[in-house]
Amino acid sequence: MSSAELVGQLCMIGFEGTEVTPDLRAWMQEFRPGGIILFSRNLVDPAQIAHLTNDLQALADDIPLLIGIDQEGGRVSRLPAGFTIFPPATTVAHSGSTELAYQAAAVTAKELRAVGINMNMAPVLDIHTNPSNPIIGDRAFGTEPEQVCIMGAATLAGLHDHRVLACGKHFPGHGDTSTDSHVELPVVHATRERLESVELKPFQYAIAHGLQAIMTAHVHYPALDPTNPATLSSMILTDILRQQMGFSGVILSDDLEMGAIVNHSTVGEAAVHSLQAGVDMLLVCKTRRLATDTIKAVSRAVESHTLDQSRLETSLARIASVKQQFVFPYHPIDIPSIPMTVGISAHRHVLAQIQGQFRTLT
């Protein structure tokens, strides 16, 4: 691989459209991203999604792609009609059943795998401690660490047991913010003691239960790092997450195109700083020009020795490890078999159980 191709393997990119166009094909062949993230704008129906993921994987040669999606349930659901769509995490938690939380994740994983998606940006491990939070709300399993711990671990197990890589988010916790990091940089003024006893607990619990991917929060925690938001903080990602909490898996940035980042630096600058801080995989979720800028900025940083190549090789090894577990061996999706898995009555029955438990409890 060229230097740019090696850097590309550290990137997970999004794109516009519902098929692999000639210009997307050319871009992927030049830069060889390690992952793709899909959004509602890319998805029409189960067969189209399978065609799309087959075509994307065909461009990946001998290193299959991580193909991810935000399929949390509730308002953060990207899948179209035809799939089994579960209610938000708060509703699942209100069922009071870790078994139902596991089954919901298992159903989601089976249906994702059926159309070629091998990674889910879930569970949300944030604790909804701020009622005025504009972005988390019912995406969280609850307002107390213990509930988020056990429901998060059940969801993690349901995904992993059915070969979909789970990604816990948003480290070290987005639940106490009063602004939306898609728009601006939130600041959480909690003490370190409070963060360690509340926000960090579900992440530590999930790590102990096999979590292998974590997404950062574009949030500033002055008690943990007086200068940098978590995505750009070696004090948070290396000192706390890696060394103190013992996490050895893949750290993903949240989308570098979000307002919390681009209002303060270019995407390329943020990419370099986040890799220096300890991020392994960079998300650039929409604009291809910015994905190109990211790869070129990181390549220049390696050439100038601003970034040490061995640092990137460590990240490549972590990414390769999760691909070995959740992607290899890659086989093209058999499209006629999709109706045997997606939206079947057994899956709808799990959904009905959760909805029924919620109605009973409320």
Q: Which one of the listed residues 45, 162, 180, 182 is annotated catalytic?
A: 182
**Nearest CA among 54, 48, 68, 206 for reference residue 124:** 206
Known catalytic membership, residue 160:
no
**Nearest CA among 134, 258, 154, 243 for reference residue 206:** 154
Residue 41 burial (CB count, 10 A):
12
Amino acid occupying residue 3: S
Strand partners, 282: 11
In which element (H, E) is residue 169 found?
strand 168-171
In which element (H, E) is residue 147 found?
helix 145-160
Known catalytic membership, residue 176:
no
Q: Which one of the listed residues 254, 255, 280, 293 is annotated catalytic?
A: 254
Residue 42: CB partners within 8 Å, gap ≥ 6?
14, 15, 16, 17, 18, 49, 52
What is the Cα–Cα distance from 158 to 304, expressed in whole angstroms?
44
Say whether 178 sits in a helix, a strand or coil: coil
Say whether 140 sits in a helix, a strand or coil: coil
Say whether 215 sits in a helix, a strand or coil: strand
> Phi and psi at residue 111, in whole multiples of 5°?
-75, -35
How far are the Cα atoms of 11, 13, 38, 176, 222 from residue 31, in angstroms, in the given order?
A: 10, 11, 18, 38, 36
What is the Cα–Cα distance from 200 to 316, expressed in whole angstroms?
26
Q: Is residue 266 exposed (0-12), middle (13-18) or buried (19+ Cβ within 10 Å)?
A: middle
Residue 91 burial (CB count, 10 A):
20
> Phi and psi at residue 171, in whole multiples of 5°?
-75, 135
Task: State the catalytic residues.
Answer: 182, 254
